[in-house]
């Protein structure tokens, strides 16, 4: 058994980022995150857009500095070919808010 996975220790910058935001909703191909740090913070908005937009597997990233929302859209089959993004999606699936 892998201790890092058992303890759910972040293993990359992307993994750490996902664990630092609220996972508001998840459907395969569509994830909405929320971060109070994004509200009224255009510099962080630019950084989030650049970091997430750098993944060719992600179709689009929409952010709002008014609500702190980050909407990520992607094709599930394409995203899951990237091992790091597949791991992040698995984390999101198990930690998304249930309504």
pLDDT value of residue 11: 54
Strand, coil or helix: 45: helix
Would you list the domain boundaries of the chain?
Answer: 12-95
Return the percentage of the chain with pLDDT > 90, whole number: 65
pLDDT surpasses 70 at 89: yes
Q: For 50-67, give the DSSP string.
A: HHHHT-TTEEEEEEETTT
Beta strands 30-34 and 58-64, pairing class: unpaired
24 DSSP assignment: E
pLDDT value of residue 3: 39
pLDDT surpasses 50 at 22: yes
CA atoms of 75 and 85, how far apart (whole Å): 12
What's the pLDDT tens digit per position in 32-55?
999 999 999 999 999 999 999 999
Whole-prediction pTM: 0.82
For domain 12-95, say whether CATH 1.10.3470 is its number. Answer: no
């Amino acid at each position: 058994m892998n201790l890092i996975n058992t303890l759910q220790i972040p293993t990359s910058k992307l993994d750490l980022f996902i664990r630092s935001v609220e996972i508001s909703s998840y459907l395969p191909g569509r994830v909405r995150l929320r971060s109070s740090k994004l509200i009224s913070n255009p510099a962080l908005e630019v950084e989030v857009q650049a970091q997430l937009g750098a993944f060719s597997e992600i179709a689009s990233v929409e952010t709002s500095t008014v609500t702190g929302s980050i909407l990520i859209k992607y094709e599930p089959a394409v995203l899951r070919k990237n091992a790091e993004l597949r791991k992040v999606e698995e984390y999101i699936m198990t930690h998304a808010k249930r309504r």
